[in-house]
Amino acid sequence: MRIAIVVGETSGDMLGIGLMKALKKQYPEATFEGIGGPLMEAEGFKSFVAMERLAVMGLVEILGRLFELLKVRKKLVKYWQKNPPDVFIGIDAPEFNTQLEYKLKQSGIKTVHYVSPSVWAWRSNRIHKIKKSVDLMLTLFPFEAKFYQQHDVPVTFVGHNLADSIPFENRAEDARHAFHLDADEKVVCLMPGSRGSEVEKLAPVFIQTAELVFKHNPHVRFILPAANKVRMQQVEQLIKEMNPNVKIEVVDGNSKTCMQAADVILLASGTATLEGMLLKKPMIVSYIVSPITYRIMRRLLKQDFISLPNLLAGREVVPEILQDQATAENLAQAVNERIEDESLIHQLQETFLFIHKQLKRDANEQAANAVVNLLQGAKSKPVSEFDSSRSDDG
C-alpha cells in the first residue's frame, strides 16, 4: 500500500502524523511519500520537498512564489502519474492541492482532501472544481460537511484531533510551574503565526503591544512560542532590532504549554485559535495581509467572522482585530481588558466546552476509516448534527 500525502504547514503536519499512525493500524506495511513535515518524517514519511516551501498565505503573497510552486506541483503530478499511489491525500494547502488532486484524479488515482477550504465563507464557486478533483472530502467541522452535502460532494465529518488530545478540563498549574510563575502573576502568550510571512507582519505589532501592556501593568509577563527553529531565529532577530522596553521570553515550540500557562492569548487567526478555545482561554485574534489581498478578500468574504471560535459559536465570542485596526494600541487595549476582567473566563468556558464536546470524535481513526472505506468502495457516512450526547472523555 503506497499512500501519497502533501501538507503545507505545521497544522497539516500534526494532522498528517495522526492519520499516518491510524492508517498503519489497518495497513501495517503501508509506505508514505510526498511532502510532509518533521513529525511525519519522524514516522517514516519520505518527503520530496521541504514542507516550508509550501507555507505561504495570501493571494498576492502566493504570486511571488507562483513559479516555484507550479514547478513543484508539475513534478509531483508527473511522478505519481508514472508511479501511481493507491490513494492521494491532500491535507489543507488548498491552492496547491486542489489542482494536484484534479490532475491525479483525471489519471485514475483516488483522491482525498483533508481539511476543507473555506468555500462556505468565500469564493464558493470553487466547489465545482473541488467536486471534479476529489473522491472524498474530510472536514473538521460539521457546518463544512453540510455545505458539501448540499453540493453532492462525498464528505465525512471527522472532528479534530486537537479536540481528542486536549481534556475537557485543563489545569494551568503544571504549565505555570514549568515557567516558574507566581500564583498571582499574569501571563500573555504571543503567537504571531507559523509562517514566515505571518511573523513578518504580526510579530512587530505584537512586540509593540507587549510594550504598551507592560507600561500599563508592569507585573505582566510575556511568552512567545516559536513554531520552529527558523521562526524562533526570525522572532529573536526582530526583538534584537526593535529592542523593546519589555522582556519577551521566546520559547522553541511548546505552544500548548505556553497557552495553558497564559491568562490571555494574542494570536494570529488559524489553527492556534482552535487550540486556545479547547484550552478554554480568553484570546484576541489578529491578522494582517497585503492591502490588495485584504481588499479582495473583503469583497469575496461571505461570513462575518474569520476565527474558528466565532465561526463555531455562530457569534462573536473573541475579538477579531484585523488589518488596519490591528495596531498596538487597539491590541493592547483588548489584552488589558481581558487581563483585568476575570469574569470573561467563566463566560467563555461554557461555550468553549460545548463546542469541544462536539469536536471530540476520535478524528484520526475517523479519517483513516473514511480513507479505507474509499479504497474498499464503501460510501461515506452521512453528516450528523452536533450531538450533545458526546459529552464524556471516552
Q: What is the DSSP string of 110-121?
A: -EEEES--STTT
**Among the ranges given (49-63, 129-143, 168-182, 218-232), the one the predictor scored with the smallest mean pLDDT:** 49-63
Mark 293-303 as b/e (b = at least 16 C-beta within 10 Å): bbebbeeeeee
Q: Is pLDDT above 70 for 382?
A: no
- CA 306, 171, 190: angle at the middle one, nearest 5? 40
Q: How many helices (H) and strands (E) does the chain have?
A: 18, 13
Domains and CATH numbers, the chain: 2-159+361-376 (3.40.50.2000), 173-356 (3.40.50.2000)
d(CA 125, CA 106): 20
Query: With bands split at pLDDT 50, 70 and 90, how would you rate the model's confidence at 391?
Result: very low
Q: Is pLDDT above 70 for 379?
A: no
Q: Is pLDDT above 80 for 341?
A: yes
Q: Is pLDDT above 60 for 385?
A: no
The residue whose grid cell reads 500599563 is 216
First to last CA, the chain: 31
d(CA 335, CA 213): 7
Percent of the chain with pLDDT over 70: 90
Q: What is the pLDDT of residue 8?
A: 87
Q: What is the pLDDT of residue 75?
A: 96
Percent of the chain with pLDDT over 90: 68
Single-letter amino acid, residue 73? R
Q: What is the pLDDT of residue 389?
A: 36
CB-based contacts of 329, cutoff 8 Å, min separation 6: 212
Q: What is the pLDDT of residue 121?
A: 55
Q: What is the pLDDT of residue 54?
A: 77
pLDDT in tens, 25-80: 999 999 999 999 999 999 999 999 888 877 654 444 455 567 888 899 999 999 99
What pairs with residue 72 in β-bridges?
Answer: none
Give the chain's mean pLDDT. 89
The residue whose grid cell reads 467563566 is 346
Q: Torsions phi, psi of 391, nearest 5?
A: -125, 10
Q: What is the DSSP letter of 91?
A: E
Q: With residue 266 as reference, give the H or E element that holds it.
A: strand 264-268
- CA-closest candidate to residue 134, choices 59, 143, 303, 119: 119
pLDDT in tens, 197-220: 899 999 999 999 999 999 999 999
The residue whose grid cell reads 483585568 is 340
d(CA 58, CA 293): 6
SS3 of residue 264 by DSSP:
strand
- The Cβ of residue 187 has, within 10 Å, a number of other Cβ atoms equal to 23
User: Is the Cα dihedral 43, 48, 51, 55 positive or negative?
Assistant: negative
Q: What is the DSSP letter of 171?
A: -
| Mean pLDDT in residue range 375-394 | 53
pLDDT in tens, 107-137: 999 999 999 987 765 567 789 999 999 999 9
| Mean pLDDT in residue range 216-227 | 95
Q: What is the pLDDT of residue 302?
A: 62
- The cell numbers describing 132, all together, are 471534479
| Mean pLDDT in residue range 154-162 | 94
SS3 of residue 258 by DSSP:
helix
- The Cβ of residue 129 has, within 10 Å, a number of other Cβ atoms equal to 15
CB 161 within 8 A of CB 364: yes
Q: What is the DSSP letter of 73?
A: H
Q: What is the DSSP letter of 143?
A: H
Burial degree of 390 (CB within 10 A; 0-12, 13-18, 19+): middle
pLDDT in tens, 261-315: 999 999 998 889 999 999 999 999 999 988 887 776 666 566 678 899 998 998 9
